[in-house]
Amino acid sequence: MANLAETPKRIVGNRTDATESILAGELGSRYIEYRKTWVSASKREIVTPFPLYIQIEHSGKCNLRCVHCIHGQENLKNEYSRGVLSMELYEKILSEASKYNCPSISFHNNDEPLLLPDLELRIAMAKKYGFIDIILVTNGTLLTKERADSLLKSGLTKINFSVDCADAETYKKVRGGDFNRVVENIDYFLSQKKKLGLKLPITRATCVLSKHTSKNMDRFQDFWGKRVDIVEFQNFQVLRGFTEHLSPENSGRDESFACNSPWQQVVIRANGDVLPCCSFYSKELVVGNVNRDTIHDIWNGEAMKRMRRELKSNNFEFNPFCKSCSETFFSVK
C-alpha cells in the first residue's frame, strides 16, 4: 500500500526506486530536490510558497463515457465542458509558474488531452517555461502513430495510460471503447520509445478498482506489467447518487484516507477556475480564477489556508464538500 506521500487517492502498485532513479538521472539535481520537497508537502509538513504541481484541464471534454466517471453520467457531463483553455491564458499560467520555478505540470483532469490538436505545442511551451516534470494522462484511444511519434519528441517525462482493464469484454463494459485498438496504440508508442533508445517518458498503466475491475487485478498486473514501467491501482471514488452500485465487492470506505492535495497542487480549468484538487467533488471548491487572480495569491489565500486547517483537524465547518469527498473512497479489502 502506498503511503500518504504518494497520492490522495491512495494508489497501490509497483512504483519503484528504479523509475525514480531514471528520472533523477535524466533530469538532474533539480528533480531530486523537487521530489524531496514533494514528500514533505505530501506529509502536510510544509506549505511551499507556490504549488509544486499544476494540473491543467484544457477542455473538460472526453471521447469516452467510462461508467465510473463524470462523463459516463448524462446528467453531469455537460457541467464539465468549459470550452478550450485559450493560448493566451495558458501562457499567462506558464509565465507565473516559471517565475516561482514550479517544477511539475500535467495535462489532464476530467478531459482527454489528445482531443487538442495543438497538444504537442502546449507541451513544448511548458518545457520552454522551465517545467521539469511534464505529465500526460490519456485513455490512449486517440494515440495514432503520428501522435505517438510527435509526443515522444515533445519533452514528456511521464505518460499515464488510463486503461482499467486487461481484456476486451471488461473494457467494453467499463469504458465503451475498442480495447484492441488501445493496446495496439500503446504497443506502438512503447516500441518506438525503445527503438529511439529513450529512457523517458516513464510509462504507467492505471486501473480504477470498481466492481468490474477489482476481480482482475492479477490479470491486469500480468498483462500491462510486461509492457509499461509502472502498474498502479486506484481506489474507487463514488459519485453520490450515480455510481454507488459500482463499488467493488468486498470493499469498504477507506478510513485511512487523508487528503494532501492542498499542500501539493492546484487544478486549473479551461475557464480559469482554480480548484484545490482533482476530486470529482472539487468543482464545488473554486478558490479563485486566473483571469483575475494570480496563482500565488490563490495558493496563499484564506480559502486555501482554511481548507488546510480543516483537513488537518478533520473539522469541515466551511467545506462540506471536502467531507463528502473523504467519505467516498472505497478500498478493496
Q: If you write DSSP's letter for every residue of 8-63 in order, what string do you get? A: TT--EE---HHHHHHHHHHH-HHHHHHHHHHHHHHTTS---SS-SEEEE-SSS--S
pTM: 0.93
pLDDT at 15: 56
pLDDT at 11: 53
Residue 220 · residue 80 · CB < 8 Å:
no
pLDDT at 333: 65
**pLDDT: is 139 or 329 the higher one?**
139
Q: Looking at the predicted structure, is the pLDDT value of residue 284 above 80?
A: yes
Mean pLDDT of 116-140: 97
pLDDT at 45: 95
Contacts 24+ apart (CB under 8 A), 298-303: 298/266, 298/274, 299/49, 299/50, 299/51, 299/266, 300/49
pLDDT at 81: 63
The rounded distance, in Å, linking the Cα atoms of 241 and 324 is 12
Q: Looking at the predicted structure, is the pLDDT value of residue 82 above 70?
A: no
Residue 134 · residue 27 · CB < 8 Å:
no
Q: Which of 108-122, 132-146, 306-320 is the least confident region?
A: 306-320
| H-only helix segments in the chain | 17-27, 29-42, 74-77, 87-99, 119-128, 145-152, 168-174, 179-195, 217-225, 261-264, 295-299, 302-313, 320-326
The rounded distance, in Å, linking the Cα atoms of 154 and 310 is 40
| 25, 90, 259, 21 alpha-carbon torsion, rounded to 10° | 0
Q: Percent of the chain beyond pLDDT 70?
A: 93
Q: Looking at the predicted structure, is the pLDDT value of residue 146 above 50?
A: yes
Please state, in angstroms and as integers, the Cα–Cα distance from residue 160 to each residue in 51, 136, 254, following that order. 21, 6, 24
pLDDT at 258: 83
The rounded distance, in Å, linking the Cα atoms of 221 and 165 is 10
**pLDDT: is 318 or 315 the higher one?**
315
Q: Looking at the predicted structure, is the pLDDT value of residue 9 above 60?
A: no
Residue 254 · residue 331 · CB < 8 Å:
yes
pLDDT at 110: 85
Burial category of 197 from C-beta neighbours within 10 Å (exposed 0-12, middle 13-18, buried 19 and up): exposed
Q: Looking at the predicted structure, is the pLDDT value of residue 252 above 80?
A: no
| 11, 13, 15, 17 alpha-carbon torsion, rounded to 10° | 120
pLDDT at 12: 53
Q: How many CB atoms lie within 10 A of CB 26?
A: 15
* DSSP code for 206: E
Q: How far is residue 224 CA from its own chain's centroid?
A: 19
Q: Looking at the predicted structure, is the pLDDT value of residue 1 above 70?
A: no
pLDDT bucket at 74, cuts 50 / 70 / 90: confident
Q: How many CB atoms lie within 10 A of CB 46?
A: 11
Q: Looking at the predicted structure, is the pLDDT value of residue 102 above 80?
A: yes
Mean pLDDT of 309-332: 82
Q: Looking at the predicted structure, is the pLDDT value of residue 34 above 90?
A: yes
pLDDT bucket at 16, cuts 50 / 70 / 90: low
The rounded distance, in Å, linking the Cα atoms of 127 and 134 is 8
pLDDT at 79: 65
Mean pLDDT of 34-39: 96
The rounded distance, in Å, linking the Cα atoms of 131 and 102 is 6
pLDDT at 241: 87
